[in-house]
Amino acid sequence: FSRRQFIKGAAAGAALGASAGLGLLTPDNMLAVDHSASKAAAKSTESRKVTTICEQCVWRCGVIAKVENGTVKKLEGNPDHPNNMGKLCPRGNAGIETLYSPDRIKFPLIRAGARGSGLWRRASWDEALTYTADQMKKIKDKYGAKAMMFNSTDNLSQPFFEILLKAFGSPNYGTQRSLCFNAMTTGFLYTYGVPQPGTDYKHCKYMIFMGRNLAEGISNNETQEMIEMIARGTKVVVLDPRFSKTASKAAEWLPIRPGTDSAFFLAILHVIIKEKLYKADFVKTYTQGFDDLVQEVKEYTPEWAEQKCEIPAATIERIAREFAAAAPAAIAHPNWRTSNFKNSFQTERAIAVLNALIGNWAQPGGLIPDQEINTAKLGVLSHPPFPQAQGIRLDGVPWQYPLVPLSYGVIQTMRDNILSGKPYEAKGWLISRQNPILSIPERQKTINAFMKLDFVAVIDIQASDTAYYADVILPESSYLERYDGLIPIGNKIFIRQPVIDPLYDTKSSLMIYKELAEKLGLGDFLPYKDERDLLAKQLKPFPITLDELERAGHYAIPNFHEDHSKDFEFQTSSGKIELASSIMAQMGKKAVPTWDEPPRPPEGRYYLLTGKTAQHTQMFTQNNRWLLEVFPENRAWLHTSVAARLGIKTDDDVVLESDVGKVTIKAQVTEGIRPDCIFMVGGFGHVSKGLRSAYKLGASDSALHKTVTDPLSGGSALSETFVTVSKA
Ligand code: SF4
């Protein structure tokens, strides 16, 4: 935006303000407000280092920020932090650009034109919060608290968002986990009674990855541990229809047919049982349902699996034997992004059961029982009892999905309920740091749902696609300008603290939640004066002051011993690892993992696969100009033979069309993908004009994805979307 355009825009805003009593702002002139609007472009000449926590993704790595003359000059990894051991990934390194982005929302905004028109006016915090609270109260008074939905990402202040929702009395809460790992969570809950066991990479001798692409979906310390593991000689086998970067580092890449991973694992189970390669003592002592499993997998021979998954029977047999020989220091990884097919729950159950058969539970190189076991007990807030939430949840948890944790939810079903109005109609949505418009399948349907709501408020640092369709944007300070709740990891407590004062008229989510609660008459539920008061309360059980913690960056609890006494107490109905699930049996379903035939694309269509790149985080970082320099847009990967047949070359524009949408995207012709698949990195194709660098860059997978849901885990079956490809 040139200075002349800025002045012109400001003059137009002033004129409108004079005539209408409003300072009308479009996103363009809103974003043109530069650092002169900042509260604190510090003038000091000091040079200092501040220890804090990264938030360029959800992994929470330790950061040491170098500040000179009030400006953040460099971010480095904190060597004392177990999540990253001194290293930052590309996204973490680019955090400074997130802080200083010209597209930050700099003050509260209230919609001043039609929803989604991009017309806003500046508001004071008092006005924006009062307006938000009034709209929420209006919905509650007229339709009940249940008509208000709440949505938040996994973050350090999420527990306080959940207090706000519970105090309000709504049962409707969602995260975006049903677009990621609900199948893994429920598969392991049904088997071990824990949603997410850890993995001991350090001692592992044999690893099978199915949906964990650690070289691109970076989870810092795990990525480092995977690289060390490979260098150490651990055999890594990757099942992936695409030659991912993790596959490129593995000993063996198996380009499996999409949706058939459970056939592969059922056949591995078949071989291990038939050849008696399992740990018989462990199975006898700690599991139940073995006989049912033996009966079920009898028919799943490697030859049968080869017909399904297109991995040679001899390869499956060999891997089964190698895997069992490495036990218990062998892991079939639980995986993360498992939102692939309606049978993904069965795949995760087969993986959970396979780990049980080789007895790797709580063994070096195997599954780690419970990552929560080391969590230090922080001080908690005392508040009045929560009111009883009225009504069932709109996402079907738990009545339809009995083992999906309440805090995970099934977000695509929430969206569909807005449109259907059944079993009752949602009227409002408060969304904190989430972007459902770009994440939920069938983007247009999601936009339609937003247009139907009475009220939408969004808390974010930038004008995300969802914020663009909101009525109020409550601007949050970036992670380098704010406090969040404390984070205990192992025997240490870490702090996210401001590296510099907020540049603009923004607040931490801790204060936004608290002040909104006060406007709603619910202030007693978040009883802290400010962030430091809250953190001091959390720190109360420990002999360290907040000032000391801020200086040190973390506190190590002395004489801390890990408690392994409950490692073999499984929180399942039987108290054992359930090879045959009691709950599945109670629901009248097959209790052991079973084969569920996935759909295949009809002639002329391709599986649409989506995944990550190491340079971006879901749909959050595409507006970061530093990251755009290294990964400027997503492309459609297609196999050389398909490209030759269709006359497509790399860099050509191609049209992908599914049953629900159509996008144009640049082609990447490669041998590194099965001929029946198209792959694209997710998170591009933004519709918000407030994201000036990312707007319309690349294409959105959510515009193509169909809404199909795994009936057991609530996971979105994203890969059951088939597309045609043609030259644009
Ligand atoms: Fe930040 Fe990267 Fe760590 Fe995520 S993995 S918290 S982006 S450094």
pLDDT at residue 32 is higher than 60? no
Lowest mean pLDDT segment, chosen from 250-254, 293-297, 562-566: 562-566
Is residue 539 scored above 60 in pLDDT? yes
Q: Mark whether 232 and 323 lie in a shared domain.
A: yes
Stretch 614-625: mean pLDDT:
94
CATH of the domain at 625: 2.40.40.20
Q: Are residues 578 and 622 in the same domain?
A: no
In this structure, the answer to whether residues 274 and 332 fall within a common structural domain is yes
Residue 337's pLDDT is 83
Cα 524 to ligand 1 centre (Å): 35
Contacts of 12 (CB under 8 A, 6+ apart): 29
- 220 plus 355 within the same structural domain: yes
Residue 93 belongs to a domain = no
Pick the residue with more confidence: 444 or 374?
444
Q: Assign 28 a pLDDT band (cuts: 50, 70, 90).
A: very low
CB distance 92 to ligand 1 below 6 Å: yes
Q: Is residue 514 situated within a structural domain?
A: yes
Name the nearest CA neighbour of 242 among 685, 613, 698.
613
Among 546, 566, 569, 726, CA closest to 654: 726
Instruction: Indicate if 297 and 439 belong to the same structural domain.
Output: no
Q: What pLDDT is stored for residue 376 in this prediction?
A: 61
ipTM over 0.85: yes
Q: Is 220 in the pocket of ligand 1 (CB under 6 A)?
A: yes
In a domain, 187, yes or no: no
Mean pLDDT of all residues in 293-303:
98
| Residue 79, in any domain of the structure | no
Which residue minimizes the CA distance to atom 5 of ligand 1? Answer: 220
Whose CA is closest to 660, among 718, 619, 614, 610?
718
The predicted-structure confidence for 200-243, as pLDDT tens digits, reads as follows 999 999 999 998 899 999 999 999 999 999 999 999 999 999 99
Residue 191 lies in a domain: no
The pLDDT value given to residue 237: 98
Please give the pLDDT value at position 9.
33
In the reported structure, the alpha carbon of residue 507 is separated from the centroid of ligand 1 by a whole-number distance in angstroms of 23
Closest CA to 411 of 446, 361, 364: 446
Q: How confident is the model at residue 5 (pLDDT cuts 50, 70, 90)?
A: very low
Q: What residues form DSSP beta bridges with 679?
A: 609, 637
Tell whether 389 and 535 lie within a shared domain: yes
Alpha carbons 540 and 523: distance in angstroms, whole number: 21
CB 612 near ligand 1, within 6 Å: no
Q: Does residue 192 lie in a domain region?
A: no
Least confident of 96-100, 410-414, 478-482, 593-597: 410-414
Contact 339, 182 (CB under 8 A): yes
User: Mean of the pLDDT values across residues 665-672?
Assistant: 98
Query: Is residue 458 located within the same domain as residue 534?
Result: yes
**Residue position matching structure tokens 């807005």:** 418
Q: Measured from the CB, is residue 87 less than 6 Å from ligand 1?
A: no
**In 278-393, where do the E strands start and end?**
287-288, 330-332, 367-368
With 80 as the cut, is the pLDDT of residue 8 above it?
no
Q: How would residue 196 be classed by pLDDT, with cut points 50, 70 and 90?
A: confident
Q: Are residues 332 and 213 in the same domain?
A: yes
Per cent of the chain over pLDDT 70 is 93
Distance 145 CA to ligand 1 centre (A): 36
For the cut 50, the answer to whether the pLDDT of residue 12 exceeds it is no
Domain range for 633 is: 606-727
| Region of poorest pLDDT, from 244-248, 475-479, 568-572, 659-663 | 568-572
Rounded Cα–Cα distance for residues 721 and 680 (Å): 13
Dump pLDDT digits (tens) for 420-434.
Answer: 999 999 999 999 999
CB 537 within 8 A of CB 381: yes
Measured from the CB, is residue 56 less than 6 Å from ligand 1? yes
Q: Is the CB of 214 under 6 A from ligand 1?
A: no
Among protein residues, the one whose CA lies closest to atom 4 of ligand 1: 57
Q: 219 Cβ partners below 8 Å, 6+ apart?
A: 59
The reported pLDDT for the residue numbered 372 is 52
Q: Is 31 among the domain residues?
A: no
Residues 159, 298: one domain? no
| CATH code assigned at 254 | 3.40.228.10
- Residue at 708 is within a domain: yes
Encode burial over 55-71: b for 16+ CB neighbours within 10 A, e otherwise: bbbebbbbbbbebeebe
The number of folded domains in the chain is 3
| CATH number of the CATH domain containing 541 | 3.40.50.740
Q: What average pLDDT does range 53-71 have in this prediction? A: 96
Closest CA to 109 of 90, 127, 85: 127
- Judge whether residue 3 has pLDDT over 70: no
**For helices 531-539 and 509-519, what crossing angle results, to 10°?**
110
Does residue 27 have a cis bond before it (omega within 30 degrees)? no
Q: Ligand 1 within 6 A of 687 CB? A: no
End-to-end CA distance of the chain: 32
For the CA of 53, the closest atom of ligand 1 is: 6
Per-residue pLDDT for 63 more than 50?
Answer: yes
Task: Give the pLDDT band (50/70/90) at residue 593.
Answer: very high
Sorting pLDDT into bands at 50, 70 and 90, what band is 341?
A: very high
Distances (CA, A) of 352 to 131, 335, 356, 395, 721: 49, 11, 6, 26, 27
**Alpha helix stretches (DSSP H) within 469-545:** 509-519, 531-539
Q: Looking at the structure, tell me whether residues 389 and 359 fall in a common domain.
A: no
Order across the sheet with 554-556: list the strands. Answer: 487-489, 492-494, 554-556
Pocket of ligand 1 contains residue 88 by CB under 6 Å: yes
Ligand 1 pocket: which of 52, 58, 61 to mutate (most atoms <8 Å of CB)? 61
Q: Does residue 473 contact residue 109 with C-beta atoms inside 8 Å?
A: yes
Mutate to test the pocket of ligand 1, among 53, 89, 223 (most ligand atoms within 8 A of CB): 89
pLDDT tens-digit map of 283-295: 999 999 999 999 9
State which of 524, 558, 586 marks the end of a domain.
586
Q: Are 135 and 164 members of one domain?
A: yes
Q: Is 93 in the pocket of ligand 1 (CB under 6 A)?
A: no
Structure confidence at residue 339 (pLDDT): 85
In contact, 213 and 201? CB cutoff 8 Å: no
- What pLDDT score does 560 carry? 76
Question: Would you say the CB of residue 272 lies under 6 angstroms from ligand 1?
Answer: no
Question: What are 102-129's pLDDT values in tens digits?
Answer: 999 999 999 999 999 999 999 999 999 9
Confidence of residue 29 (pLDDT cuts 50, 70, 90): very low
Shortest CA distance to 360 belongs to which of 183, 575, 207? 207
Tokens of 129: 């919060």
Q: What is the mean pLDDT of the chain?
A: 91
What atom in ligand 1 is closest to the CA of residue 56?
7
174 and 206: one domain?
Answer: no
Residue 10 pLDDT class (50, 70, 90 cuts)? very low
Q: How high is the pLDDT of residue 45?
A: 65
Query: Is 64 a pocket residue for ligand 1 (Cβ < 6 Å)?
Result: no
